[in-house]
Chains A and B, each alone.
Chain A
């Protein structure tokens, strides 16, 4: 565990080491001029995104997992769609539509004969706009994890609450939400980390945050040390966030007690609230996916002849392969880490797990540099050693290879896998481990025959989240990739940042569509095991999934 975390921490260590270098005059210049803006904007952004993703994610998760209304089955997967939409793409798209010169405002002006200054229209490129953009594409993290949690929640808990006279709303707020808290926090943490790491959106919207500051210091002032020092402060931010969160629930644990998984009794919503539920779920789906995807589609129709060719399909293939390899690697490592933590369950192992997952909140660029420098130093050292002793030059072994790219992805995205698997583990009561061990199971048998089957949903979720994240990932690829290697995200970004949004639309839509495949696959698999377990439960009412798997495998 120490070895893996140490390996994963190489880039972070590289960055934190900068704190021990002298603070240059560039840093004091930043501190006296713009640092205040970076801090306040980043905090406001986080606050807004935290509230937005919580409200959207949790409410939709509840509606689709615990209630019944027309279209629920469609919303179950449709609500995941915005996840395939990179934040910078949605930002460009909405700006194109809602900006002062965009079709919406132009129409209003022409229709009402208004001029600039005659009317008020929300400024899309602002802090508020950025918050809305992030909420629209990041709420699925909360939705996905919380929904899994609601489904895995002990329904006896909810039934007790109802039988004690609480209505659905009260049950929701006083039982379901507190019990789903680890999942909610996990989802929100992911969303917030992604927000902190974003560069494309905030840069385009002219909101100066830590990330834009890091880039500015590096690119504008050419001072990579000061940029790394800024990143370290960002890292402190994130660490503080995690510590506060852990403290606040230090002794609270919610494990599903004995009879965990009975089929939820979905409560049917009748009358006008039915339409309200449909409407509510439609909001994120249409604004986070349908509308921007529709706009992209319109652009693709106008430009596809210039952009879709054989080279384009190569892009799809390379993006897909990269995402698949990374997500499997992340999943394997995350299972190993979480399982070790489960076995050891010490403060040290908890700390290691946190350190291993710090990478997610750092901008991809920072991670990439953190990988680039030590890898190149390693390569050059090996080369020098070989030349000295055997007179062979090995050149660069790792730098500029796909291995470096994938390693950087793992550092950045393993947090996603860890968070998801951990929230799954939180629901497996430790007494199950004890029973298995008492019955003579060795640790690896505990993992393979007890934990993995019980974690199935969480594992799939983790796999999907990383897959989509890698598809969207940009700066890491840009900085570390080998010659003649291109991905969809790079193509989309290069064109979009050159303000050729229409030409970027093919690649952007392809990211969205490729992202859809695993989303659909996953949503099918999430609902499948339940349907299979249903007849079993009917035939042996007292037995539940976890006991089943124990019984079958022991």
Chain B
């Protein structure tokens, strides 16, 4: 029988061609990324549309080419860990502090001291050892239907667990990082036991099982499915500035309430940036961080995505102005990363889907 030897030969050829194809294409890509020009390689959890325009401006200003991969925060972190010291990435950009905290713990970041930036960014929005820096702020706020709810009925996140709000609250799934951060801040402030009790009552107040995104919660309030919702402020901002008139109309039917103004203040999360341990273009990376925290870039976050700047004294968009000033929680955001794991478990225990 010739069969076995034939089979082996045939498959050897195939396997070889597969592998050579892999190698050839990897070389093509490698040759593309090795240009003479100064460059900086960015792993970003911020989506392309929400970071590329700024990076383009950076290239325009400094002549440094920016190579970009966007993905989910944890995926990028896994990639950084796996690639180790050979990782091509110079900086990591994330949309929440939890991932930066994990990246620091995983040992894939390096500490950089940039006095120029440290003076700009308030201490609670950057790592105490200089491993990462906040770039923009997002707050988790309460929106309500003014015809059914008076602002005087509202006070804090904790109060949303009262019987008064039975079956009247909309909020998205506990898989969402912003909810995890919110609960993490509760744990940081009040401890696990108190948070557990609060969560049980809070979950009982949900008008519907959590589904959809933050905009959907706002829509549900307008539709009358619930009376209050907990959402990130920039989603409301995005709806108010939408090209779709229907979204604008819906957003105009709700009002924003700053929670916890007599207590710790509204819950804040950051989007942030860090230099990787494997960075081969450290100078360019630092230049990029400096650029992203400049007044001009800081203004951009507000104008494009209705996020608040981390640098005080920067001009903010009209939408942000219309929401007025507020007291922000001064909890160091690294605590949110620290308590994230406990927060998810507490939410599981409370049956928050």
Contact = CB atoms under 8 A, between A and B. Distances in A.
B7 A479 contact: no
A400 interface: yes
A106 B244 CA distance: 16
B175 A499 contact: no
B223 A116 contact: yes
Nearest to A124: B211
A547 interface: no
8 contacts: A3-B15, A99-B219, A125-B212, A329-B21, A377-B82, A393-B86, A401-B30, A402-B25
Contact of A221 (B6, B49, B344, B349): B344
A206 B68 contact: no
Interface in B247-261: 250
B325 interface: no
A372 B84 CA distance: 12
Contacts of B41: 483
A218 B74 contact: yes
B314 to A, nearest CB: 23
Contacts of B130: none
A117 B220 CA distance: 13
Interface string B208-239: 01111111100110111100000000010010
A339 to B, nearest CB: 8
Nearest to A375: B82
Contacts of B211: 125-126, 204-206
A376 B108 CA distance: 15
A540 interface: no
B7 to A, nearest CB: 5
A402 B11 contact: no
A138 B303 CA distance: 41
A365 B75 contact: yes
Nearest to B106: A222
A340 interface: yes
B290 interface: no
Given A101-B219, A336-B14, A398 B26 contact: yes
A254 interface: no
Interface in A330-385: 332-333, 336, 340, 343-344, 365, 368-369, 372-373, 375-377, 379-380, 383
Given A377-B82, A401-B29, A494 B70 contact: yes
A303 B243 contact: yes
Interface string A474-501: 0100110111111000110011011110
B276 interface: no
A502 interface: yes
Nearest to B73: A219
Contacts of B163: none
Interface string B1-40: 0110011001110110010011101101110010000000
Contact of B21 (A212, A403, A490): A403
Contacts of A206: 173, 209-212, 353
B212 A204 contact: yes
Indicate the size class of the contact surface on chain B: 35 or more
Nearest to A216: B175
A442 B344 contact: no
Nearest to A203: B175
B75 A479 contact: yes
Interface string A13-29: 00000000000000001
Given A3-B15, A406-B25, A498-B50, 15 more contacts: A1-B11, A4-B14, A101-B220, A206-B211, A329-B18, A336-B10, A343-B7, A373-B78, A377-B82, A379-B86, A400-B88, A443-B2, A495-B49, A499-B216, A503-B49
A479 B224 contact: no
Nearest to A1: B11
A115 B224 CA distance: 8
Interface string A452-488: 0000000000000000000000010011011111100
Contacts of B78: 224, 369, 372-373, 479
A220 interface: yes
A369 B80 CA distance: 12
B341 A222 contact: yes
B177 interface: yes
Contacts of B72: 219, 478-479
Nearest to A2: B11
A486 B212 contact: no
Contact of B26 (A106, A224, A333, A403): A403
A397 interface: yes
A253 interface: no
Interface in A26-45: 29-30, 33-34
